[in-house]
Every structure is written in structure tokens, then in C-alpha cells.
Amino acid sequence: MPLGERGGWDKSESRYCGVETEFDDDVPRLLSFNLSSGGFDFVVAPLMDPTYRPSLMEVDSDSSHVLPFAGSDLVLSPSQWSSHVVGKISPWIDLDSEDEILRMDSETTLKQEIAWATHLSLQACLLPSPKGSSCANYARCVNQILQGLSNMQLWLRIPLLKSDDDSLDVDSDNLMDSWELWNSFRLICEHHSQLSLALDILSTLPSANSTGRWFGEPVRAAIIHTNSFLTNARGYPCLSKRHQKLISGFFNHSVQMVISGKPVHGIPGATIGSVANHIDENVNSGQRHPLRSYLDYVGYLYQRMDPLSEQERIELGYRDFLQAPLQPLMDNLEAQTYETFEKDSVKYMQYQRAICKALLDRVSDAEASTLTTVLMVVGAGRGPLVRASLQAAEETGRKLKVYAVEKNPNAVVTLHSLVKLEGWENVVTIVSSDMRLWNAPEKADILVSELLGSFGDNELSPECLDGAQSFLKQDGISIPSSYTSFIQPITASKIYNDVKSHKDVVHFETAYVVKLHSIAKLAPSKSVFTFNHPDYSTKKSNQRYKKLQFVIPRDTGSVMVHGFAGYFDATLYKDVHLGIEPSMATPNMFSWFPIFFPLRQPLCVQPGSPLEVHFWRCCGSSKVWYEWCVTSPWPSPIHNSNGRSYWVGL
């Protein structure tokens, strides 16, 4: 049964917990004991008798050769095989052994077991860990299998190990970073989307920075060993605070748990020994499953997690889903798009706060009853900023004259209806025009706009406000007054594979709006481009260039950089800001997801090595585009040269 449902919303795979079992040729009995009696959701079970070796088989020429698989496919229904069994490939296989017979036996057995698992329609198979630091032949063989695999996932078992620089007293054989082993394996397999990870969680954990790398990798299961558990005052298993934090992180990333090993806690009713050895006696006696207390504790950790906020629940379907950025200047937005953004009350509350401060600075209390402030909303859409402006005027007791300028003729229809409905005819003038072309009848005291994109300037706010600036008074106020873009290197295996699936350069040279979730942030973000409004400089240009250098913390270990997450932070007016840069993001605001700039070839960066990246904002007569490249640790091609793949139309 699932670990629980937090608030009834959670349908992710992390609700399910499995158990690693020994070989049993009676699969129905194995499932009955572990699922019906034990409460687990699936078993990770060997498919073949562990004593089998192809080279030791004597084939009688007069009889067919029958492999020693666990049960016929008929002992379970197809849905039972698919839902409740993960195939465990024989752990003895070693495809990189110096022993040629063992190497050939291993390759033959691996292919036989995968073929049988495919026949059973299993969703996944657990591959054993590579036996040494070299895994080239193993990875080559797995890559061959992946080329012809249908939908089944292959989980490569990797121990969560990394030596810290100060742990010099550790046996030299253990001075390894298991991420390096995984990285070598997946590079040989060309980042194949059906190759994923099952991490062995041991009693000791690497640093938080090191374990954080794995959240951007395709981890499907976390195998928790019973000897990783501590014992609480009542004799029951529990986990250290660091283990609890890691497991909670895996829950949030839809990683399934698997309990493995013998019961090592003095729990009443449990006997030391493997689960398989106790199936008969426990089923017959009705005894509690020997690993049930471990399952109960994992369920307790799951149910203890905070439920998702309403905003997070809305965003669930967008996690790691690639979307093309909006082009509101070139394209007219649809009603549904307007409606989505209009629901972001936090954003409009910040705008209202900024307008209130601007009105109070603009008009003193003594002038409040006589002086009328001219406020222009440029890009008024369906009117949310008009409403925020009028509410600010009411809150501050200031008189206001509003021009609502909008180029989308469909939105103008809605604006007229709104003005009539609210009785704003004497206060609001609707202008159906592109703000860059409008010949305003008077100058504005305050210019308000919401033209910001996920990267700040990527929806052409600078170009639009340059045009609108002509009808702002010399001492007028622009809201926003400035905005800055930021980038951050990330590991994002899922997103990278989604881009890679298109099999062309164009998609690797496109910036995507995406609700980043299954990623690892590898270093703090850094600022890229800044724009200020109004800008009366004589030599102003909206072209920009920035070189940035990131350093991966040493205790992280090596990392794979799949691209860069982009954010923005905007100053609306004085101390009122809004933005999505993680360290200072406006809470509970959902109008913007981050932007993602992919790399055509992911970069492996060693700990302490600088990662140097260059970003350009380029402007042409009819379009604006970004170009980007990496020059260290080694050069990448320039992405999106001349805006050949991705651009924003003027």
C-alpha cells in the first residue's frame, strides 16, 4: 500500500516503497508475503537462479535448453508483473573482468535476463554496480541493449559514496566519488533517457553539496540499507537528521524507496535472516514481516512532510516541462493567457505598493485635492494594472487621470467593457495603439508597465519603454525603474534529454521557460544584464555583453552542467521589488517560471575548476536574440549565432 497521501493530492511515484528480495522461483508466494502481508508496493527480485552460469550449462543435444528463470510468465498477470516486480539482474555479472569466461558469461546472462524482463513487460530492471573503476565494456553492452529497448527503464545501481578531502584515514580503495563512475557510464551510453539510477544509501553520507548533485540526475530509486538505520529509545529503527533530509529531498523528486538487507533491530516478532528465508514460517504463523518497522518509519517520514501549497499544486503539471517564451510584442495574447497572469495577486499587490509610494512622492498632502497625476499604463492588457493604479489612488487620497494603452485589439474590447462596468469613464482613457507609435496628447507623471519576462528583458521591455519614454515627463517616474537578469549553472538531466530528443541544433539554441524541479543548482547565481528606466543617456544601446565565472564548491565533487537557469529581479519603485532570483524571490508569485539556456554538449566540471560563460544580448532591425557560449573548462560553440534558432520579434 502507498506510504500515504499528503492532503489527497500526491500521486507521485515516491508514494511507493519496495523491498529487495532474494531469488525465489515461487513468485506469487513472494508477492503475497511482501505485498499483501508486508505492506510493500513492489519487490526488487532476481529473475534468474543465482547459481546459473552459461559456461557451466550442459546442453543435451536431444532436449531444448531451458534457462532457470523465476517462474513462468503465466504465474502473474501482465499488470502484476508490470506494477509489482522490478527485475534484479544477477549481481555476480562483471563485464569488465580480466577473466574472459566470466566476462562472456556476464554478457550472455545480462542479455538473457533483459530479454526475459522485456517479455514480462517489466517497467524497470536493476543493474548491478560496476565492479571497478573501469566500466567501458559493461556500459557498451548496456548501450547496445538500450538501442533496442522498448519502454523499460534500466536502473544502474550506484553506491552514494564520495570521500571528503579531510578523510585521509579512510582506506585508499574507498577514496572514490561514485558520481564519477555514474558519469563515465552514462557518457558511454550517450545520456540515454532510459538509463537511470538507483542509489544505495549507506550509513555514512557525503557532504550536502555532494549529495545535492544527484537531484539533477535521473534517480528513480533510493535503496536504504537496514544497517543505515539507527535505533530509537523503544528499539525501533530511525534515521539520522542528515539521512532524513536526504530522503525528504528524494520524496520531493518522485524517487521511490526500496528497503534492503536483514532486520538488524531488536523488533519483537522479527528474526535475523533474509526476508526470503522467512516467507514460509511467517506466512504460516501470521507473523509480522521482518522489515515492516523499516517500512513504517519510511512511511512516517513521508507523511510528516509539509503538504504542497496551492501554488505548488497548480505548478505540478509544469515541472520540468519545456515551453517557448511568450512574444507579446509580436503576438497578441489569448484570453486564457491573460486570465492566468491576472490571478497572480501578489504581483499586482507589489505594483499597487509601488504606485502608492510614487503618488505620495509626486503629490504632497497639501496638493492632494487639487493636483491630478497623469498615469499611463502601457501594455494595459485586460486592465489589472489599471485597477491597481486606481486602488493606489484611493488608498493615498490622490487624484488620478489614467491612460490605458494597449496594442491588442481583442484586449481593447475587454478594456472598454471593464471601464463601463466599473464606471471609470471620467478617469480612464483607452488608447488602442502600440506604445512605441502613439502620439500622446500630454506627458505622463508616472509610466507603469508589466513587460518583464523570465530573464527580465527577454520580452523586449527595454525596446518598448524606450519608445514610451517620449511621453514621460523629464522628472517622471517609471514603474519598474530597473531590472537585472541572472544566470546559474545547473544539472538538469531530464530537461537535457527532452531537448536532445528533438535531434537538432535548433532546440539546443532555444531558451525555454520551464518550472525547474529535478535539477541541481551548482553555484550561486550571478547578475548578467541591467536596464534602467527612464534612460536619458545619449549613447544608450540595448545590446549587452557579459563574461561570468562560476566556481563549483570543492566538497561538491565533479558535476555535469547541462545549461543555465535564468532569472530576474526588478525594482518597481524605491524599495518595492519583485522577481524570481532564488535568493530574493518574491514569495507566492507565479507569473514567471525561470528560463533555461541549454548547452549542446553538457560539460563535466571538476571541483575547484572555473566555469566561464559568455552571454550576449544582440539587437537587429526586426529582432532581438541571445547568444551564449562556455570558454572554460573548454570552449563550446557559440549558441544561436545571428539568432538563427531563437529570437524575439520587434
Rounded Cα distance between 276 and 258, Å, is 16
Q: Where in the chain is the domain with CATH 3.20.20.150?
A: 13-53+70-163+175-307
List, by residue range, all CATH 3.40.50.150 domains of the chain.
Answer: 335-450
Please name which of 489, 471, 469, 497 lies closest in space to residue 481, comparing C-alpha atoms: 469
Confidence class for position 277, pLDDT limits 50, 70, 90: very low
Catalytic one among 459, 509, 581, 627?
Answer: 459
Ligand-binding annotation for 406, yes or no, is yes
Residues sharing a CB contact under 8 Å with residue 36, sequence separation 6 or more, in sequence order = none
C-alpha cell at 156: 544502474
For the domain made up of 335-450, give the CATH fold.
Rossmann fold (3.40.50)
**Position 151, amino acid:** N
Residue appearing with cell numbers 525501533 = 236
Determine whether 146 is exposed, middle or buried from the number of CB atoms within 10 Å of its CB (0-12, 13-18, 19+). middle
Q: Say if residue 138 carries a ligand binding annotation.
A: no
Q: For domain 482-649, which CATH number applies: 2.60.40.420, 2.70.160.11, 3.30.750.24, 3.30.1540.20?
A: 2.70.160.11
Cell 560563460 found at: 613
Q: Tell me the C-alpha distance between 645 and 536, whole Å.
A: 33
Separation in Å, CA 165 to CA 168, 206, 242, 308, 609: 7, 11, 19, 37, 16
* pLDDT at residue 10 in the model: 58
pLDDT of residue 272: 35
Rounded Cα distance between 544 and 542, Å, is 6
Ordered DSSP codes for 247-286: HHHHHHTTPEEEEES---S--TT--SS-TGGGHHHHHHHT
Q: Is the dihedral of CA 429, 430, 434, 438 positive or negative?
A: negative
Whether 111 shows a pLDDT value over 50: the answer reads yes
Active site residue 459: yes
| Domain span(s) for CATH 2.70.160.11 in the chain | 482-649
Q: What is the rounded average pLDDT for all residues in the chain?
A: 90
- Band (pLDDT 50/70/90 cuts) for residue 1 is low
Peptide bond into 480 cis (omega under 30): yes
pLDDT score for 265: 77
For residue 217, the SS3 value is coil
* Angle value at C-alpha 25, between 22 and 28, nearest 5 degrees: 95
The CATH-assigned architecture of domain 13-53+70-163+175-307 is Alpha-Beta Barrel (3.20)
The CA R_g of the chain, rounded to the nearest whole Å, is 30
Please give the grid coordinates belonging to residue 216: 539533477
Residues 534-588: tens digit of each pLDDT: 998 877 899 999 999 999 999 999 999 999 999 999 999 999 999 999 999 999 9
**Distance, CA of 84 to CA of 61 (rounded, Å):** 37
Neighbour order of strands in the sheet with 428-432: 428-432, 399-406, 372-378, 444-449, 472-479
- The answer to whether residue 58 is catalytic is no
Give the pLDDT confidence of 324-379 residue by residue, as tens digits.
Answer: 887 877 788 888 888 988 889 999 999 999 999 999 999 999 999 999 999 999 99
Query: Which residue reads 538509463 in cell numbers?
Result: 195
Average pLDDT over residues 511-536: 96
Q: Which of 20, 107, 217, 450 is catalytic?
A: 450
